[in-house]
């Protein structure tokens, strides 16, 4: 009778392990998709950040909204620093 | 009675044996004979091999700003044979992906097809919303998509990537091997409900390498802005500009206008997608006189101060050539020939050189071959070999007619003079991530002494000659104007169609930049000194300020 119980317990263990592996695989797939989604979001945000932070765009907006004017070469002074 | 019972038992046993026999035979048939094909069928229903896209490398400008980067997108496909209600499916797609349901309905209702793309490289969030509806017959897989955050900035230089992720033009094509990477592969086992129960990675994906350009997006954007205004002001067909560092050949800007938004390349006309500075040729006109003068000086036929008495016009074989402005006979030095852009003076120098030596100097300056710039489709220009010259060719070529060059060839030639006679191969890519900086290709064209003499002459062009609109307060500018009539399709020249150009170096005492501007078919004015020189001045003035190049004290400053 003991061996029947042992075999039953073994079989139950095998089934439980398989179910756990199955669940982990399903979780892995879900996490993989989440990772892909997050990567997609990061790339989209990087693209938006790059567009928004572009110097020509900021200069254009500054010129339009605030009247910013690029300094001309004769309005700029350079200092030669000597050690 | 017993006999009857025994008979029935025997019959029952026989029937049972037959039934078991049948089952055993069926089992042998299924598990023995058809086992392999059934197993394959089962695997195709529950196991699929999925390609894992590799991230395409990012293209950065010299300051680290992203010019082209890879995004993850989701491609939506459908099997119309499995779609139960095409009308409902089309409406769901319209609501989630924003596609036209009426156009989509016909495709989804076509039960003769087993696979159709619903939306390639769709927005992942929108595709996820559609996936949640669990419509039968729809499938989804991740795919890389290219994005250009700076929009139209350097769009012709960057090129574009096709829907399959392959570079199709520009730097995307030139560096496709480095940028593309290698996709991975996964084997996915699904349960009958479509849930993933096992993933076996067969090959890991290898992301593409990042590419770092010599282009500066601020210099590029400013050049494009100036060209846009120039095209508008002169109602020109197009305009192009190159900004390069003569010391290294590094190209800081390569602009063509009109341009297009790189994110919308499929809808942009093919004509606008061309990087004309590399692929297109033009007759350079007077900017080419520098090569004639360089040859005559290097062959020690003349010195900058050598003087010539020049008539207004000159007969060369069957052609009469004259200077641009009507005048009497003048006594010009070689410097003045360049400063006043005298056709007769340049032809006189060319006649002293002769066709063979002039041809050799043209070749030496690289006008019969590609520069080797790292951009696809470079044109070598059109240069007649000396044995095919007619009697009048010696009257055309020295003044930049009857010869076709690319803007990048011309910019590289002037850069060599600005760099004390050493030519550096123009290039757009500084390095590829993980790789060493490629070594510079350099060679000497003229001696340092001759190059410095030529720079002095080019300074005179801006100080007192045809290029005065190129002057920048505080800086010495050396450059040359060019105005060339465009050839027509009958072997002659088109009336009223010109290319105006200016190419120069700043600060002339220690050049940091060479800027070339060409304006195609300007209206109202045609002269390089009037149309292109002001554009040069605006581009160079911004760049000097932006790159913090100190003034070298222009006379009168």
Mean pLDDT value across residues B203-230: 94
> Could you tell me what percent of chain B has a pLDDT over 70?
98
Predicted local confidence at residue B438, as pLDDT = 83
Q: Does the distance separating the beta carbons of A54 and B221 come in below 8 Å?
A: yes
Percent of chain B with pLDDT over 90: 61
Residue with more model confidence, B553 or B539: B539
pLDDT, average across residues B15-38: 89
Report residue B70's pLDDT band, with 50, 70 and 90 as the boundaries.
confident
Contact B69 A26 (CB under 8 A): no
SS3 B117: strand
Neighbours of B101 (CB within 10 A): 17
Structural contact between residues B385 and B359, judged by C-beta atoms closer than 8 angstroms:
yes
Rounded to whole angstroms, the Cα distance separating A37 from A48 reads 16
Answer whether A73 sits within 8 Å of B128, measured CB to CB: no
pLDDT of residue B31 exceeding 90, the answer is no
Residue A73 with chain B: CB contacts under 8 Å = 472-475, 541, 544-545, 551
Extract the tokens encoding A51. 């567009």
Cβ pair B149:A44 closer than 8 A: no
| A70/A59 Cα distance (integer angstroms) | 9
Per-residue model confidence as pLDDT tens digits over B122-160: 888 889 899 998 888 898 887 778 889 998 999 999 999
CA of A18 vs chain B CAs: smallest distance (Å): 10
Compare CB distances from A29 to B66, B69, B199 and report the shortest one's residue. Answer: B199
Partner-chain contact A40 B542, CB within 8 Å: no
Q: Which of A15-19, B3-7, B68-72, B78-82 has the lowest mean pLDDT?
A: B3-7
For residue A57, the model assigns a pLDDT of: 86
Query: Which residues of chain A approach chain B closer than 8 Å at the C-beta?
Result: 22, 25-26, 28-29, 32, 36-37, 39-40, 43-44, 46-51, 53-56, 70-74, 76, 78, 80
For chain B, the C-alpha Rg in angstroms (whole number) is 35
* Nearest CB to B475; choose among A22, A46, A73: A73
> How many angstroms away from the CA of B176 is the closest CA of chain A?
20
Residue A78: its chain B contacts at CB < 8 A?
A: 548, 550-551
Q: Are A50 and B149 in contact (CB < 8 Å)?
A: yes
Average pLDDT, chain A: 85
Candidates B286, B302, B315; CA nearest to B500 is: B286
Tell which of A56, A60, A64, A81 to mutate to test the B interface (max B CBs under 10 Å). Answer: A56
Residues B90, B95, B96, B98, CA torsion sign? positive
Contact B474 A73 (CB under 8 A): yes
Query: Closest residue of A to B219, CA-based?
Result: A56
A52 pLDDT more than 90? no
What is the predicted pLDDT for the residue at B557? 40
Residue with the bigger pLDDT between B479 and B495: it is B479
Position B224 scores a pLDDT of 96
Considering only CB atoms, which chain A residues are within 8 Å of B197? 22, 25-26
pLDDT at B195: 66
First to last CA, chain A: 95
Q: Which helix (H) or strand (E) holds B196?
A: strand B196-203
Cβ contact, residue pair A37, B544, below 8 Å: no
Per-residue confidence at B87, pLDDT binned at 50, 70, 90? very high
pLDDT average, residue stretch B420-429: 96
State residue B194's pLDDT score. 63
pLDDT value of residue B556: 43
Q: Tokens 């119980």 identify what position?
A: A5
Q: Is the dihedral of CA B385, B389, B395, B396 positive or negative?
A: negative
The answer, yes or no, to whether residue B42 has pLDDT greater than 80, is no
Contact A43 B71 (CB under 8 A): yes
Q: How high does pLDDT run on average in chain B?
A: 90
Band (B196; pLDDT cuts 50, 70, 90): low
Give B99-129 pLDDT, tens digit per residue: 888 988 988 988 888 788 999 888 888 898 9
The answer, for B6 touching chain A at a CB cutoff of 8 Å, is no
Whether A71 sits inside 8 A of B73 (CB atoms) is: no
Nearest to A22 among B142, B197, B475 (CB): B197
The whole-number average pLDDT for the span B477-486 is: 94
A-chain residues near B153 (CB < 8 A): 54, 56
Chain B residue closest in CA terms to A69: B542
What pTM does this model have? 0.83
Across the interface, of A39, A74, A78, the residue whose CB is closest to B473 is A74
Please enumerate in sequence order all residues whose Cβ is within 8 A of that of B25, keeping only pairs 6 or more positions apart, or say none: none
């Amino acid at each position: 009778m003991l061996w029947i119980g042992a075999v039953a317990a073994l079989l139950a263990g095998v089934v439980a392990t398989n179910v756990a592996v199955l669940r982990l695989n399903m979780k892995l797939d879900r996490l993989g998709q989440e990772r892909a989604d997050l990567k997609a979001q990061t790339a989209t945000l990087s693209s938006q950040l790059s567009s928004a932070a572009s110097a020509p765009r900021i200069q254009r907006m500054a010129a339009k909204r605030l009247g910013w004017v690029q300094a001309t070469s004769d309005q700029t002074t350079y200092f030669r620093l000597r050690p | 009675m017993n006999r009857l019972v025994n008979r029935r038992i025997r019959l029952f046993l026989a029937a049972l044996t037959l039934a078991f026999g049948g089952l055993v035979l069926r089992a042998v048939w299924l598990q023995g004979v058809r086992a392999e094909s059934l197993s394959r069928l089962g695997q195709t229903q529950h196991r699929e091999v999925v390609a894992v896209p590799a991230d395409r490398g990012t293209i950065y400008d010299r300051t680290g700003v992203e010019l082209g980067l890879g995004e993850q997108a989701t491609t939506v496909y459908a099997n119309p044979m499995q779609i139960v209600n095409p009308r409902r499916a089309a409406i769901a797609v319209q609501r989630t992906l924003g596609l036209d349901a009426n156009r989509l309905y016909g495709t989804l209702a076509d039960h003769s097809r087993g696979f159709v793309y619903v939306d390639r490289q769709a927005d992942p969030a929108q595709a996820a919303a559609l996936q949640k509806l669990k419509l039968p017959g729809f499938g989804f897989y991740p795919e890389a998509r290219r994005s250009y955050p700076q929009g139209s900035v350097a769009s012709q230089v960057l090129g574009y990537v096709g829907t399959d992720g392959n570079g199709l033009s520009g730097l995307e094509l030139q560096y496709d091997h480095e940028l593309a990477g290698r996709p991975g592969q996964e084997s996915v086992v699904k349960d009958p409900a479509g849930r993933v129960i096992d993933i076996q990675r067969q090959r890991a994906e290898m992301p593409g390498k990042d590419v770092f350009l010599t282009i500066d997006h601020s210099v590029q954007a400013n050049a494009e802005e100036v060209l846009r205004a120039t095209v508008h002001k002169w109602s020109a067909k197009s305009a192009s500009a190159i900004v390069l560092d003569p010391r290294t050949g590094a190209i800081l800007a390569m602009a063509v206008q009109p341009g297009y938004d790189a994110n919308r390349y499929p809808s942009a006309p093919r004509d606008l997608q061309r990087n004309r500075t590399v692929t297109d040729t033009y007759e350079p006109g007077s900017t080419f006189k520098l090569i004639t003068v360089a040859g005559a000086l290097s062959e020690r036929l003349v010195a900058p101060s050598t003087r010539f008495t020049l008539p207004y016009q000159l007969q060369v074989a069957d052609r009469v050539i004259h200077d641009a402005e009507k005048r009497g006979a003048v006594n010009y030095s070689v410097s003045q020939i360049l400063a006043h852009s005298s056709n007769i003076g340049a032809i006189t120098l060319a006649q002293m050189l002769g066709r063979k030596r002039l041809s050799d100097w043209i070749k030496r300056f690289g006008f019969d071959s590609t520069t080797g710039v790292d951009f696809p489709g470079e044109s070598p220009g059109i240069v007649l070999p000396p044995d095919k010259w007619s009697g009048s060719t010696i009257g055309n070529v020295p003044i930049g007619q009857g010869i076709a060059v690319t803007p990048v060839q011309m910019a590289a030639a002037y850069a060599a003079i600005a760099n004390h006679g050493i030519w550096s191969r123009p290039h757009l890519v500084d390095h590829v991530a993980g790789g060493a900086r490629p070594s510079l290709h350099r060679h000497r064209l003229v001696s340092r002494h001759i190059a410095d003499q030529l720079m002095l002459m080019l300074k005179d062009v801006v100080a007192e000659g045809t290029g005065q609109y190129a002057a920048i307060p505080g800086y010495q500018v050396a450059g040359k104007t060019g105005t060339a009539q465009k050839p027509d399709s009958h072997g002659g020249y088109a009336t009223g169609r010109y290319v105006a150009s200016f190419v120069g170096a700043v600060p002339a005492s220690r050049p940091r930049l060479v800027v070339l501007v060409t304006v195609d078919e300007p209206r109202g004015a045609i002269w390089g000194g009037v149309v292109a020189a002001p554009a040069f001045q605006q581009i160079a003035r911004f760049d000097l300020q932006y790159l913090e190049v100190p003034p070298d004290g222009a006379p009168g400053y």
